[in-house]
Amino acid sequence: MINRISGPEIANIDTIEYLLPERWKLDNGIQVWGLNGGSQELVKIDFIFEAGTWYQPFNLVAGLTNAFMNQGSKSYSAQTIAEIFDSKGAYLNLSADQQFGSLTVFTLNKYLDEILEVAANVIKHPVFPKKELSAQIAKKKQQFIIENNKVKVLAQKTFSQVVFGEAHPYANTNSFPDYDKLKREHFIDFHQKYYTANNCRIIVAGLYTPEMKNSLNKHFGGTDWLADHEIKQLNFEFSPSNKPVHFIEKDDALQSAIRIGRLMPNRNHPDYYGLTILSTVLGGYFGSRLMSNVREDKGYTYGIGSGIFSLKNAAFLSISTEVGVAFCHPALKEIYFEIERLQNEPIGDEELRLVKNYLMGETIRSFDGVFASSQSLRTLIESDLEYSHYDGFLEVLKRITPNDLMSLAQQYFNKNDLFEVVAGKAIFPKESL
C-alpha cells in the first residue's frame, strides 16, 4: 500500500544556476547584454531607453511617444511596418513605464536582419504622421474613458497620487482633457531628446549567432543616432498625501476596489529582501494569509494580493482586491487584522519554511530559460544592480527568522503609515454586518 497520508519525500533545493550574460559594446558605445540559449531558432531583443514618465514635460507624452513610434518612419509607412512584421510572424512590442520606454523585437532568427532594418528605422526616425496620430489619439481617448469606468483603475490612480504625491512623475494624474493638449511636436521633441544611442541599452536573448551580432551592430552601432546633447538629470521629491483614507464614489458599482499601501525602500536597500518575504506571507501566493482569510475563509472576494513593487527611485507596498460592495468594511477589517498579526506574533516555523520554499521555486522560475532570464537581467539593469542582488536575496531567504520578519513588520507595516483607497459604492458599516 502506498502512503497517501504523508506524501512523498521532498527534495530541498538550495542552489540556482543562472545563465550569465556575455557583454559587449556596439561601435557607437551602446552596451549590450547577451543570453545565449534556448531550443528554438528565435531571438528576443530589448531596446531600453530612460524615457519614462519621469522625463515627460506633461501628462501622456512619454507613454504616447513610445506607443506611436511604429506609426510611420522615414522609410516606412505604418502599414508597411505592420506588413513586414506580420508577414514574418515577428513582433514589435512597445511599452513605457514610470522610468523607461522600450521596444522589444521578437523574431525567428532567419528574419532577424530584415526585421532589424525596419526596427532601426522605427527607433531612430519615427515621423509621427498627422493622420495616424489623430486616429490613434481618438482611440486612446476612448480607451481612457472605458478604463476609467473600472473601479480598480480609479483606485489604482488615486493610490498612486496619494502614495507619491500628485506632482510626482510616478503618480498617474492623466485626465481626459490632457489628450486635447497633445501636439505632434511634443512627440518629435521627446523622441529626439530621449530615444538616442547614448541613452540606449540592449538585451539579446535566444539562440543568436556571430552574424546576428554583426547585424545588430550594422543597424544600431552607427554614430548617426548619437545625441549632441546631455540628458538633464531630474530630481523629484515624494510628497505623500496628508490624508490617510480616500474614497472615490461610483454609485452603480457591484464591487469596490481596495488599495492599501505606502512608500517602501526599493531593491537598492538591505531591507528590501525581508520586506518582499513579508509581503509574500501576507498576500503573495495562493495560500497567503490574506487569501486564506478573505477569500478561502470568508468568500468576500475572487482574489486578494499584496506585493512590493520596486521602481528605480522608490518602491511601494500595494495590497489590492475587489470585493462585493457589502463586504468592503469587513474585508478592510480583516486586512488590518492580518497586518497587525504580522507585527504582534512571530510567523510559525512551518509557515515560514513553506514561504521560503515557495519563493525558492519562484526564483527558479525567474531564471527558467533564456526569456525568463532576460526579464530578470532587465530588472537588474534597470536598477543598476549586479547578479549579487539575487545571491543576496537567496542568502536572506535562507537565514531570515520569524523575529526578523516581525521587527520588519513593526517598522514598516504600521497602520498609521498606510494609505487606504477605496473606489466603489459607499455602504455604511453597520448595514454590511
Partner 1 sequence: MILFEKHILKNGLKVVVHTDRTTPMAAVNVAYNVGARNEHPEKTGFAHLFEHLMFGGSVNIPNYDMPVQKVGGENNAFTTNDLTNYYITLPAQNIETAFWLESDRMLELAFSERSLEVQKNVVIEEFKQRYLNQPYGDVYPLMKDLAYKVHPYRWPTIGKDISHIENATLADVKDFFFKYYAPNNAVLSVTGNVDANKVFRLAEKWFGDIPRREVPNNEIPSEPKQTEFRHKQVERKVPYHGLYISFHMHEKLHPNYYVADLISDVLSNGQSSRLYRNLVIEKQLFSELDAYISGDNDPGLFSVSGKLIDGVDIETAQKAIWHELNKLKSEIINTVELQKVINKVEANLIYAEIGYLNKAISLAAYELMGDAEMINRQSDLYRQVSSSKIRDLAENMFSDQNCSTLFYLKKQS
Cα separation, 109 vs 51, in Å, equals 28
DSSP result, 365-412: HHTSHHHHHHHHHHHHHHTT--THHHHHHHHHHHH--HHHHHHHHHHH
We find the least distance from the C-beta atom of residue 64 to partner 1, in angstroms, to be 15
Task: Check the CA dihedral 428-145-262-335 and report its sign.
Answer: positive
Based on CB atoms, which residue is closest to partner 1, 180 or 228?
A: 180
First to last CA, the chain: 50
365 forms part of the interface with partner 1 (CB under 8 A): yes
139 forms part of the interface with partner 1 (CB under 8 A): yes
Cα separation, 346 vs 337, in Å, equals 14
10 forms part of the interface with partner 1 (CB under 8 A): yes
Q: Which of residues 250-279 bind partner 1 (CB under 8 A)?
A: 252-255
We find the least distance from the C-beta atom of residue 380 to partner 1, in angstroms, to be 20
Q: Residue 150 class from Cβ within 10 Å (0-12 exposed, 13-18 middle, 19+ buried)?
A: middle
Write the secondary structure of 276-294 as one string of H (helix), E (strand) and C (coil): HHHHHHHHCCCCCHHHHHH
Binding mask 15-54 for partner 1 (x = CB under 8 A): --x-------------------xxxx-x------------
Q: Which of residues 80-99 bind partner 1 (CB under 8 A)?
A: 81-83, 85-90
Based on CB atoms, which residue is closest to partner 1, 7 or 210?
A: 7
146 forms part of the interface with partner 1 (CB under 8 A): yes
Cα separation, 183 vs 338, in Å, equals 49
Give the interface size with partner 1 as a residue count (CB under 8 A).
73
Element (H, E) at 102: strand 101-108
Q: In 3D, which of 235, 233, 231 has the Cα closest to residue 193?
A: 231
Based on CB atoms, which residue is closest to partner 1, 66 or 98?
A: 66
426 forms part of the interface with partner 1 (CB under 8 A): no
We find the least distance from the C-beta atom of residue 358 to partner 1, in angstroms, to be 4
Residue in 20, 138, 245, 426 binding partner 1, rule: CB under 8 A: 138
Q: In 3D, which of 253, 307, 252, 258 has the Cα closest to residue 152?
A: 258
Selected range binding partner 1 among 138-146, 156-164, 180-188, 211-219, rule: CB under 8 A: 138-146
Based on CB atoms, which residue is closest to partner 1, 72 or 165?
A: 72
We find the least distance from the C-beta atom of residue 38 to partner 1, in angstroms, to be 7
Q: In 3D, which of 250, 227, 330, 317 has the Cα closest to residue 278?
A: 317
Based on CB atoms, which residue is closest to partner 1, 124 or 295?
A: 295
Based on CB atoms, which residue is closest to partner 1, 184 or 298?
A: 298
Residue in 29, 57, 287, 348 binding partner 1, rule: CB under 8 A: 287
Between the alpha carbon of residue 212 and those of residues 15, 39, 69, 87, 92, the distances in Å are: 33, 17, 24, 20, 18
Based on CB atoms, which residue is closest to partner 1, 2 or 433?
A: 2
7 forms part of the interface with partner 1 (CB under 8 A): yes
Q: Residue 242 class from Cβ within 10 Å (0-12 exposed, 13-18 middle, 19+ buried)?
A: exposed
Q: Do the beta carbons of residue 430 and residue 272 sit within 8 Å?
A: no
The three-state secondary structure class of 156 is helix
14 forms part of the interface with partner 1 (CB under 8 A): no
We find the least distance from the C-beta atom of residue 341 to partner 1, in angstroms, to be 18
Residue in 262, 298, 341, 389 binding partner 1, rule: CB under 8 A: 298
Reading the block at residue 197, the C-alpha cell is: 544611442
We find the least distance from the C-beta atom of residue 264 to partner 1, in angstroms, to be 24
Based on CB atoms, which residue is closest to partner 1, 6 or 242?
A: 6
